[in-house]
Structure formats: structure tokens, C-alpha cells
């Protein structure tokens, strides 16, 4: 179905810079997210018909659309995040390409283009309306497409009371991209039976498996002396970092894995001979493998320290989130419901694991099973990001279908 306000709503949202900041110590991590929630989202939530709209100190904007049929007793939530990823988000100037002809799309005057020779997924969108960047910023479809779709679904339901639906809870939150937004989510306040993050990619994505995730921070302590007299005296902290990395399995890196394969990902390394630092993320789907990866890093650190005769490799591990399948597989109702709705709409469900995480990973372990459904974004987190308006419309259809089937 076509929704006249969807495109303009999305364009309005993406033009607001809501990039999160992983160096921040506040939640939300940036003032722009607070301003977006209070000045843009809260007023519009009321305009589209949500009731009891409020903003929580945890950064979530919350609202409710009461059930209009007492026989539909479920409470279902829909959640999307406000922040965008670590890429330029200032002065976003989206392009709207109508009736895409299947060829390369010039991204403004940036010198970049979206070319099917590089991005084969473009072949799926011939004759559709695409929203792209101008090549200088990201787009922000991750996850402002989700916000726009939820808002549009609520607006449509409020304008069409003949469509009977259950109670709907809506939550728009901060800082998903830096992995902390859902840490302070108030599941007791949200108070629904199950929820969906509308934060997936192409048409039909339906996901209830994520990585389990941990972060590793390593400090390497060296000893610096003049290189001319360094023999048996110098301990080069940067070399220790290299030695540590070289003991991790070479084939278990993101660029060499897919499907259910986990990995170690070196995110950053810097320092001097005297002291160096490295940051890793660790990912795996299976709990046993996840724990084994952390144990491997600990074993490497311990071995190096024994060989060096001193504590020169200082490792700190921190779990970030866990595979939400552990919760959702106990009651597959939200997955089966979404699957049935998509099939009724002629959408082929794509049920695959997420090689990443969503807010639903954490919220599921708070007691609200929260699988993830498609929002439409492709090539997310950079200048080549784009989204199909027709896919966004199908996401709205899916949201309406879920709440009217309950």
C-alpha cells in the first residue's frame, strides 16, 4: 500500500544529525538525540495519534495506541533507534531517484556513484523509488526508516478505526550504534507481551538470532631504551601487540567469515614502544564457542606474560550482549506471527541470523522477546547507503498486519 506521508517523514528525519558518540559518558551520548526526541519525535507521536507520550531519562520516547477491539488482548511493541553510525552525518542531503532505471546512480557532485557492478543488490530495485546520499554523508536509514515506518503505521491505524488492532507500544531509543542504548531500557515500564525492533535490512528480513558479543581492551607495557643498545633490554609494546594478534586464528576475522562463523575483529591499535593499546570485538552464535574465544585471548595473554617474566599484557574482557535466540526459541510466537503476516502479504520471509546485534538482543534478556524485522536499508553506515520507498511501504504493511492479526 502507498502511504503519502512516509517519504516526506523519512526525509525530515534523516536531515537531522543524530550521530552517537562512543567516547561519551552520558546516555544519550549526544545532545542532538535528545533534541531530536523532544523537538521532533514527541510532538509527531502525539500528532499521529499515540497517547500517553513521554520521554524517559534513559533517552527513550514512549507512546501507546490503545486497542480498539477488546478481543485483541496482546500488547505488542515496536522499537527503533534514533542514532546513526560513525560516519559523517552533518548536512545530509538525500537524493530521491524515481523509477530507478537499473544503472549507476551519481551521488551528487562527490565523484562517487552507486553502481550495480559494485553493489549487485541494486538489481533488486529496478523501477522503484530509491533514496540515496549525495556521496558526502551516510543516509541514516539505519534506523530512521524504522522510525518513519512505525510512525506511518500508527498514523494509518488511527485514521482507519475499521482496522481492529491490539494495544501497541512504541519506543524510539538512543545509542544503538554504539551498543549501549538498550542498557537502560525500562522493560517493566514498556510492559508488553513481545516486541519487534524495526531495524533490519532488505524486504522480508525476520531475525531472531544474533551474535553473542564481547569487547576486549588490551594494554601492552613495554620498556624503551635507545635502539642502538636495545639488545636484551628493550621490550617494544607495539611488537607485543603484533605478537598477540598473530596468535589469533588468521581465518577467523570478519573479512573471512560468514553465516554462523564467529570471529575476532581488531578495531583499533595505537601506542609507542613504551605502551600500546588494542581493542577487539569478539563474536559467535554458540555459547560454547563464544566462551572459548574469550578463553583463547586469556590464554594468549597469560602465555605471553609467563614468557616475558612480567605482567606486560593486561587484558580486560567485557560481555556486551547475548544471542537472543536463547530467549525467543522458548516461545516462537512473535517470529511465527511475523512470518505468517509476511506470507499473507506476499512477502517471502528471510529468516537468517544477524551478523551483528540489535537492541532486541538486550531487551529479550530483560523479559520481552524482541525479534527484528526489515526496515529496508542497504549498504548501511556509509556514503553508499540507500533505501527503497517500496520496501519501506511493505514494512508499514507488515507492522499493521502484525497488530491486526493479534
Query: What is the model's pLDDT at position 232?
Result: 93
Query: What is the model's pLDDT at position 357?
Result: 78
HSE (CB half, 13 Å, CA atoms) of 277? 6
Tens digits of per-residue pLDDT, 328-348? 999 999 999 999 999 999 999
Q: Could you tell me the pTM of the whole model?
A: 0.91
Q: Is-same-fold flag (5-210+323-405; 212-321)?
A: no
Higher pLDDT, 355 or 167: 167
Per-residue pLDDT averaged across 204-231, rounded? Answer: 95
Prior bond to 201 cis, omega within 30?
no
- Catalogue the active-site residues: 83, 176
Query: What is the model's pLDDT at position 406?
Result: 67
Q: pLDDT band at 179, cuts 50/70/90?
A: confident
CATH architecture of 212-321: 2-Layer Sandwich (3.30)
Question: Could you state, in order of their start, the residue ranges of all structural domains in the chain?
Answer: 5-210+323-405, 212-321
Query: What is the model's pLDDT at position 164?
Result: 97
Q: pLDDT band at 354, cuts 50/70/90?
A: confident
Per-residue pLDDT averaged across 52-72, rounded? Answer: 96
| Percentage of residues of the chain with pLDDT beyond 70 | 100
The per-residue pLDDT of the chain, averaged, comes to 96
User: Cα separation of 379 and 267, whole Å?
Assistant: 20
Instruction: Give the torsion through C-alpha atoms of 296, 300, 303, 305, to 10 deg.
Output: -130
Q: 115 Cβ partners below 8 Å, 6+ apart? A: 104, 105, 122
Q: Is the Cα dihedral 182, 183, 187, 188 positive or negative?
A: negative
The third-level CATH classification (topology) of the domain covering 5-210+323-405 is Aminopeptidase (3.40.630)
What is the pairing mode between strands 372-374 and 194-200? parallel
Tens digits of per-residue pLDDT, 29-55? 999 999 999 999 999 999 999 999 999
160 is in an annotated binding site: no
319 is in an annotated binding site: no
21 is in an annotated binding site: no
177 is in an annotated binding site: yes
199 is in an annotated binding site: yes
Amino acid at each position: 500500500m502507498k502511504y503519502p506521508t512516509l517519504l516526506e517523514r523519512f526525509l525530515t528525519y534523516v536531515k537531522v544529525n543524530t550521530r552517537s558518540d562512543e567516547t561519551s559518558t552520558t546516555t544519550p551520548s549526544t545532545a542532538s538525540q535528545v533534541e531530536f526526541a523532544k523537538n521532533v519525535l514527541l510532538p509527531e507521536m502525539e500528532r499521529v495519534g499515540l497517547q500517553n507520550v513521554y520521554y524517559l531519562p534513559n533517552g527513550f520516547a514512549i507512546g501507546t495506541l490503545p486497542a480498539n477491539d477488546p478481543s485483541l488482548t496482546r500488547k505488542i511493541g515496536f522499537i527503533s533507534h534514533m542514532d546513526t553510525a560513525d560516519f559523517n552525518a552533518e548536512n545530509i542531503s538525500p537524493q530521491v531517484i524515481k523509477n530507478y532505471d537499473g544503472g549507476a546512480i551519481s551521488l551528487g557532485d562527490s565523484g562517487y556513484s552507486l553502481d550495480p557492478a559494485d553493489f549487485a543488490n541494486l538489481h533488486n530495485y529496478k523501477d522503484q523509488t530509491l533514496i540515496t546520499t549525495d556521496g558526502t554523508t551516510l543516509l541514516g536509514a539505519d534506523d530512521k526508516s524504522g522510525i518513519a515506518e512505525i510512525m506511518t503505521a500508527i498514523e494509518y491505524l488511527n485514521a482507519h478505526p475499521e482496522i481492529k488492532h491490539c494495544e501497541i507500544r512504541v519506543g524510539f531509543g538512543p545509542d544503538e550504534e554504539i551498543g549501549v542504548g538498550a542498557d537502560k531500557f525500562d522493560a517493566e515500564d514498556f510492559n508488553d507481551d513481545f516486541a519487534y525492533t524495526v531495524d533490519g535490512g532488505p524486504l522480508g528480513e525476520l531475525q531472531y538470532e544474533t551474535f553473542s558479543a564481547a569487547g576486549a581492551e588490551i594494554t601492552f607495557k613495554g620498556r624503551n631504551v635507545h635502539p642502538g643498545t636495545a639488545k636484551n633490554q628493550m621490550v617494544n609494546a607495539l611488537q607485543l601487540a603484533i605478537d598477540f594478534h598473530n596468535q589469533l586464528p588468521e581465518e577467523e576475522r570478519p573479512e573471512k567469515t560468514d553465516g554462523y562463523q564467529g570471529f575476532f575483529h581488531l578495531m583499533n591499535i595505537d601506542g609507542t614502544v613504551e605502551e600500546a593499546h588494542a581493542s577487539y570485538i569478539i563474536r559467535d552464535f554458540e555459547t560454547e564457542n563464544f566462551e572459548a574465544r574469550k578463553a583463547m585471548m586469556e590464554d594468549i595473554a597469560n602465555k605471553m606474560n609467563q614468557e616475558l617474566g612480567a605482567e606486560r599484557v593486561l587484558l580486560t574482557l567485557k560481555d556486551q550482549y547475548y544471542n537472543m535466540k536463547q530467549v525467543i526459541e522458548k516461545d516462537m510466537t512473535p517470529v511465527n506471527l511475523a512470518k505468517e503476516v509476511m506470507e499473507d502479504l506476499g512477502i517471502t520471509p528471510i529468516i537468517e541470523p544477524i551478523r551483528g546485534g540489535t537492541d532486541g538482543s538486550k531487551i529479550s534478556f530483560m523479559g520481552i522477546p524482541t525479534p527484528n524485522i526489515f526496515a529496508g536499508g542497504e549498504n548501511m553506515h556509509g556514503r553508499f547507503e540507500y533505501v527503497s520507498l517500496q520496501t519501506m511501504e511493505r514494512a508499514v504493511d507488515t507492522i499493521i498486519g502484525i497488530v491486526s492479526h493479534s
